[in-house]
Structure 1
Amino acid sequence: MKLANKNLPPPNATLHRLVKFFGRQRLDKTDLVALSGSHTIGMARCVSFKQRLYNQHRDNKPDMTLEKRFYHKLASVCPCTGGDNNITPLDFASPPKFDNSYYKLIVVGRGLLNSDQVLWTRKDPEIAHLVKSYTENESLFASPP
């Protein structure tokens, strides 16, 4: 577990931190965006995204990039106090299916983890272009490089 925590970015990672983490593993931005797409399947515990709902910038306010209806859906699963072990799909659109819905969700503000949503801040044109490409072309995402 310690090795995984050392080598995998935390769910609240910033874009800069993600690029740095992946770089340490000799992975580039294309790898970062493609591998993040694995979040199209799987689950996350409330504790992994609670900060986004209630205290994103240590100001007792939610992450303003969260789409409003999505925020309310998440808040019903993850209350302000307690519920840390409640789980929810990483990809609400098609939880059991490996597809490009993960990218489609982050483009509309429905990325579950901060480390998902920051891929669409558009602060990095290369990353934004890759997200948009995978959003528009599922076969591009599904095909190996």
Structure 2
Amino acid sequence: MSSLFFTSLLLFFSLVLLPSLNALSHHYYDHTCPNLESIVAREVRLATANDKTVPAALLRMHFHDCFIRGCDGSVLLDSKGKNTAEKDGPPNISLHAFYVIDNAKKAIESTCPGVVSCADILALAARDAVVVSGGPHWEVPKGRKDGRISKASETRQLPAPTFNFSQLQQSFSQRGLSLHDLVALSGGHTLGFAHCSSFQNRIHNFNSSLDVDPSLDPSFAASLRRVCPARNKVKNAGSAMDSSTTVFDNAYYKLLLDGKSIFSSDQSLLSTPKTKALVSKFANEQHLFEKAFVKSMVKMSQIAGAGQEVRLNCRLVR
């Protein structure tokens, strides 16, 4: 075989065949499951009507799925036998609302069986979680496959609320996400609730000379200390992520600039001129934040996984 022919063959595979195997599409289910998006949106709306914490849970679930093994639905798998799955790893213990994905999957299977992956359902549910909270709508690329591997030990790869800026940058960069993506996706913290354990480091024994992180607004720090005393034993105690915890808006960035952020990782976004400028930009212009968030969510949702199947039950491998 000539070197020219071999080179041409490699080029063919790289430019034609490989993208066709991995590329996602907005129209992936147009013919095989045309009602998919309306089914998922309905389940998210119904669940949110009964529990206002559902949108934040679904958005966080999708993020945690994509950051481990790519967006392959591995976070949805239950622990089995000797294997402890991702959802039971320390950073994911507080994840909830898995039933929303289960309900959507059941409804979809009754309409178009064996077609839609759990990973795609989760990506759509995360988008609908933002929409039902008053945020922007976007087209979700589809065609993901479900992975068969889920290990709690791998959840150590998730960016922690105590991360400093360099740790955050490295975590996002390893997944092909930029500083712009980091600041935009952090805006997802506009929804949800933080448990005391995730920010105790800022309000008690901050360092050898200070009890409280000096970057925190004093009155805000005092309110956090009242809710989360040093030896807190109140189950599920904590704080809302921002002043409008069930509304998708740019309040997170405004509070961050006012010294009223929750996590060390949030505060770290003010530690470089580039990221601080983005925080200010998003705090001043909600539509710019929404535009950036959508772009970064689409980018994150396309982190490739190694999934090869479409699960019939999102909690179990086939």
Q: What TM-score, normalized to structure 1?
A: 0.90
Query: How do 1:70-85 residues align onto structure 2 when only pairs under 5 Å count?
Result: 70-83=220-233, 85=236
- Alpha-carbon RMSD: 1.6
Secondary structure in 2 matching 1:76: helix
Cα deviation, residue 58, structure 1: 4.7
Find out whether 1:62 has 2:218 as its counterpart: no
Counterparts of 2:231 and 2:188, CA distance in 1 = 29
1:125 matched residue in structure 2: 273
Of the three residues 178, 183, 187, the one matched with 1:33 is 183
Deviation, structure 1 residue 57: 2.5
Identity of aligned residues (%): 35
The separation in 1 between residues aligned to 2:182 and 2:153, in whole angstroms, is 19
Aligned residue in 2 for 1:87: 238
Question: Separation in 1 of the partners of 2:154 and 2:192?
Answer: 17
CA deviation after TM superposition for structure 1 residue 128, in Å: 1.1
Identify which range, 50-59 or 105-114, moves more after superposition.
50-59
Displacement after TM superposition at 1:83 (Å)? 3.3
1:116 aligns with 2:266: yes
**Matches of 2:219 and 2:281 in 1, distance apart?**
25
The match for 2:54 is none
Q: 2:282: which partner in 1? A: 134
Corresponding residue for residue 166 of structure 2: 16
The amino acid across from 1:129 in the alignment is: A
Runs of at least 4 residues of structure 1 off by over 4 A? Answer: none
Q: Which has the larger radius of gyration?
A: 2
Question: AA paired with 2:232?
Answer: G
Partner AA of 1:71 in structure 2 = A
For residue 47 of structure 1, what is the aligned residue in structure 2? Answer: 197
Match in the other structure for 1:5: 155
Whether 1:104 aligns to 2:254 is yes
State the Cα distance separating 1:130 from its structure 2 match. 0.8
Q: Provide structure 2 residue ranges, at least 5 long, that are not aligned to the other structure.
A: 1-88, 90-151, 296-318
TM-score (norm 2): 0.43
Q: Give a deviation string over 1:31-70, Cα, whole Å, max 9, x none.
A: 1001100000011110100110012225451101000110
Distance between the aligned counterparts of 2:237 and 2:202, measured in 1? 15
